[in-house]
Amino acid sequence: MLTSLNAANAYSAARSAVQPGQPAGPDAIRKVGEAAEDFAAQMAQVDAVSTGAMTGKVETYQLVQTIAEAELAMQTVVAIRDKVVEAYQEILRMPV
């Protein structure tokens, strides 16, 4: 499950991978991969809970909580993507 603390940790791990002046080592790349796997697992959990809510096997409060966690995870992924795109655009603006 991806909580806000896990999302913040994943964001800080991914941030070091694109931070200027620091080479991205294998540890940073591994952490980004783990964050992506956690995100995929969170989305799979949302699908499972949504299906369970539609069939009456999962309580509504559990569905709302899972959707809120998924929203936080999605916001984290979008923030990371935005930083990567920003870094790429900065590289394109560099004079050759």
Q: What is the pLDDT of residues 21-61, one digit of tens each?
A: 666 667 878 888 888 899 999 999 999 999 999 999 999 99
* Structural domain harbouring 56: 4-93
Please state, rounded to an integer, the average pLDDT across all residues of the chain: 83
- Number of domain units in the chain: 1
Rounded to whole angstroms, the Cα distance separating 93 from 69 reads 36
pLDDT band at 13 (very low <50, low <70, confident <90, very high): low
Rounded to whole angstroms, the Cα distance separating 68 from 46 reads 10
Q: What is the pLDDT of residues 58-83, one digit of tens each?
A: 999 999 999 999 999 999 999 989 99
CB atoms within 10 A of CB 67: 14
Distances (CA, A) of 12 to 19, 36, 84: 10, 13, 13
User: Which pTM does this prediction carry?
Assistant: 0.64
